[in-house]
Chains A and B, each alone.
Chain A
Amino acid sequence: NPPPTRARALSLSLSVGCSYDHLSQTLLKVIIERPADANQFFEEISAAVRTEATKTVPPPADEGAEEAVSASKAAQLKWVDTQAAMFVESTEEAPEVTFPDLYREAAMWKWAGIGFGDDENYRLYLALKALAVSKETGVRFWGKIITRGGDYYVAETKSNDEDFAEIDANAMEGAMGPNKYTYFVTKGTGEAWTQLPHVTSKQIVVARQVKRFLTGDLTAPVCSYPPFPGGTEANLLRAQIAQITADCVLSLKGLVQADEDSEEKNVVPVEEEEQAVDGELGELSTWVHAEIDIMPHGRCQALPEKDEDEEGGDDEPAVEYPDPKEPCGEIGEDVVEESGKQLWILRTCPGGAGVGPKSAVYAKSMKWPGAIAVAVGKKVTNVYVGFGLAAAAKPQTYSPPMPAKINPEWGFPVEEEEEPQLLTEEADVTVAPPKEEEEEDE
């Protein structure tokens, strides 16, 4: 036969051979494995057989597949390395620092429906311990902030007073104000902790007027109106954390008290021997705020009094700032102004049939959804898992503040005694046209 016909016959036999082989493989698979509804899924079984046939062929030519394996492999191995490093016992002498025993606190959070999974909890505990040891300071787990690009874990440490020695006390309050704590964030356990900058009072004021999701990149600019002073997302995140801490960190009456020794408002723990919870856990009056409230102008304490000798003391008119709220206020007094609705809700878990003397009680904030405080006996733990935003004041929707009024145009300076000089037209001056010499008619 001439070559075209033979080639055609060969290709025909190959194609018939392929489909015969494929059908027989598919039927063999059905016979051996006996899936429940083989007829309904026959095409899928056939596709599965086909993909398995191609899998046996090594794919060096398929660059896409190789990249696929290496991208996930690289990312997972990187994670494994960072986590494994946390499990290595340190040979250096550990400084005496406090770090939370997260796995016990996690059991308390679970009653409130918050949890990261047992495995992740333990790794988080290791990460917090590593932070405490490296910074040589006590660490508390503050919570988790959800962003558009991954979530931040936030850890809280006490600020040093020395950091604020050279900073203008009017712009940024130091360790007696919102900067009582310094915060560290990380995107995942085992990764480096980034310190968040300290917060100024202006940033808190603007952050209250702005409503934005965090993008997950600390260096991203904050596009908002009013313009955010300080600029980056790290500042916005810090301002939100400051507000949530001031509003939502709770303790029980009898465990903390207002500090009567210092002039400034402060909350201090009661001596351990004298600690006794004053009241039932299930009642709103037993729960008190453990942090100082931030006032509307962004400060916790009153402004420092200006020296009269200071230059420029008369330029700004004296603004009346409200007095700070009393520390250790009961949470029952937090209500929505218009409706009188409570901003805190208490639940007992287990409740109903399972209630007992060791039941945990948790307080849930309606103002900052995601902020909870759980108490069992004398132990209280606070945590936040959420977007870092205050609850919308439903049913109104958010609207940014109106732009400022336009300045009036510059006009003639007006002196008070004289009447204002108005621009008037001069009286018309009639000028007679030159008389033409009349030509005498001749």
Chain B
Amino acid sequence: VAHPPASGLRVVTAATMELQNIANLGPSGYTLSIEEKSALQVSMLAIQRKENLPSKLMFWGKIMGETNDYLIAYSLIPAYYFPVKRFYYCTTANMSTLVQMPILSPEWKELSAAIKLPFRGEPSALMIEGAEEPEEPEVAEGEEAPPPVEVFREQHRLSYVVSQIDHDVAVVPRGAFIVDAAHKVTKNKFFEGLSYPAAGALANYYHFRAPESARAAACLEKPGIVRPADFLDPVAEDAPAGVWSQFYDSSSTMSLLRSFYWPGYFFYHVCETGEYGGVYIGDGLANEDLPFML
């Protein structure tokens, strides 16, 4: 007769950067002020319920601007092939309402990529020199107003930069996400964490994005069981070598990762537990002088 196994199923309660776990960001040196945290708690819960989001809203990070800073949160929407992140932002001037980030046309993506100046902190600021606010068309009585004309504003650039940063540096440890029986990528509820020496190897960290290397993409498409290490791009393959640094915190209980291409990205993982999280707190500018600095 079989007897039940000793320990129960451990469901991961503290995962990617819930607002309550902000204390884990201590080694990064950055944190949220009490005003920001308190307001975000309200607005994140509001958006999660109003938009009926499938999972809890997670804190993504903070992009500093001149007048105001942007606070960004995201929700993971399950989708076939790879889950999608939906981003919301607010400025520190008005933290009680989160707004969904706009979707960009390819033209505006190119424009955003070309801008290298710091953020101003005003989402409705016009970004093209010489552009003017579109005039409001006259509306006859009884007719609906036409939808407002979209002009390239800072919120569009913000949307692009956030998606770039997320694409380049969002990190998860090996085994945190798995391909389940339905061949969908989902969070591993039974993730027990990396052991102490495993957490010290950069090879055990992966980019959380739809795989781009040919090998990983092929793994995801073929039928059958997919091992956790196979279907994501490893962080250790990022070039140039040295762009990521891994070290333990002073108490040797957490493994920390920092990116030097997007300085300000900070990832922590509490060894041998399922706790991990990553945030970006910085000015939203890529460090293009990186080759000189390593």
| Chain A residues near B (Cβ < 8 Å) | 21, 24-25, 28-29, 32-33, 35, 39-45, 47-49, 52-53, 55-56, 67-68, 71-72, 75-76, 78-79, 110-120, 144, 146, 148-151, 187-189, 211-213, 216, 345, 349-352, 354, 364, 366, 369, 385, 387, 392, 394-395, 397-400
CB distance from A300 to the nearest CB of B (A): 28
- A149 pairs with B250, CB closer than 8 A: no
- A110 pairs with B292, CB closer than 8 A: no
Known: A113-B31, A146-B258. 12 other contacts (CB 8 A): A25-B4, A40-B186, A43-B181, A44-B180, A44-B188, A52-B7, A71-B197, A76-B252, A110-B34, A144-B29, A366-B118, A397-B288
Q: What are 12 A-B pairs with beta-carbon distances under 8 A?
A: A24-B2, A44-B188, A48-B9, A68-B195, A76-B252, A110-B31, A113-B31, A117-B31, A146-B29, A148-B242, A385-B29, A398-B292
- B33 pairs with A52, CB closer than 8 A: no
B55 in the interface (beta carbon within 8 A):
no
Contact of A117 among B5, B23, B252 (CB under 8 A): B23
B207 in the interface (beta carbon within 8 A):
no
Residues of B within 8 A of A28 (CB): 2, 4
- A211 pairs with B29, CB closer than 8 A: no
The interface residues of chain B, by DSSP majority, are classed as loop
B293 in the interface (beta carbon within 8 A):
yes
Contact of A116 among B2, B26, B34, B181 (CB under 8 A): B26
CB distance from B13 to the nearest CB of A (A): 14
Question: Could you tell me which residues of chain B, from 242 to 278, have a CB within 8 Å of some CB in chain A?
Answer: 242, 245, 247-248, 250-253, 258, 260, 263, 271-272
- A35 pairs with B29, CB closer than 8 A: no
Known: A148-B245, A189-B250. A44 touches B27 (CB 8 A): no
Complex CA distance for A1 and B199, rounded to whole angstroms:
54
Query: What 1/0 mask marks residues of chain B from 197 to 241 whose CB sits below 8 Å from any chain A CB?
Result: 110000000000000000000000000010000000000000000
CB distance from B21 to the nearest CB of A (A): 11
Residues of B within 8 A of A394 (CB): 116-118, 285
Residues of A within 8 A of B95 (CB): 352
- B263 pairs with A392, CB closer than 8 A: no
| Chain B residues near A (Cβ < 8 Å) | 2-9, 11, 23, 25-27, 29-36, 62, 64, 66, 92-95, 116-118, 178, 180-182, 186, 188-190, 195-198, 225, 242, 245, 247-248, 250-253, 258, 260, 263, 271-272, 281, 283, 285, 287-289, 292-294
CB distance from B226 to the nearest CB of A (A): 11
- B289 pairs with A398, CB closer than 8 A: yes
- A387 pairs with B263, CB closer than 8 A: yes
- B248 pairs with A75, CB closer than 8 A: yes
Known: A41-B189, A79-B251, A189-B250. A29 touches B34 (CB 8 A): no
Residues of B within 8 A of A55 (CB): 6
Complex CA distance for A39 and B184, rounded to whole angstroms:
13
In the complex formed, the residue of A with least CB distance to B181 is A40
Complex CA distance for A28 and B9, rounded to whole angstroms:
12
Complex CA distance for A351 and B34, rounded to whole angstroms:
12
- A56 pairs with B6, CB closer than 8 A: yes
In the complex formed, the residue of B with least CB distance to A115 is B31
- B118 pairs with A349, CB closer than 8 A: no
- B252 pairs with A75, CB closer than 8 A: yes
Complex CA distance for A173 and B72, rounded to whole angstroms:
47
- A32 pairs with B35, CB closer than 8 A: no
- B27 pairs with A116, CB closer than 8 A: yes
- B225 pairs with A43, CB closer than 8 A: yes
Known: A75-B252, A110-B31. A68 touches B197 (CB 8 A): yes
CB distance from B183 to the nearest CB of A (A): 11
CB distance from B20 to the nearest CB of A (A): 14
Residues of A within 8 A of B178 (CB): 44
Complex CA distance for A188 and B68, rounded to whole angstroms:
33
- B5 pairs with A35, CB closer than 8 A: no
- A45 pairs with B2, CB closer than 8 A: no
Complex CA distance for A116 and B281, rounded to whole angstroms:
14
Residues of B within 8 A of A47 (CB): 190
Residues of B within 8 A of A350 (CB): 33-35
CB distance from A363 to the nearest CB of B (A): 13
5 smallest beta-carbon distances between A and B, as pairs:
A117-B26, A72-B196, A188-B250, A75-B252, A115-B31
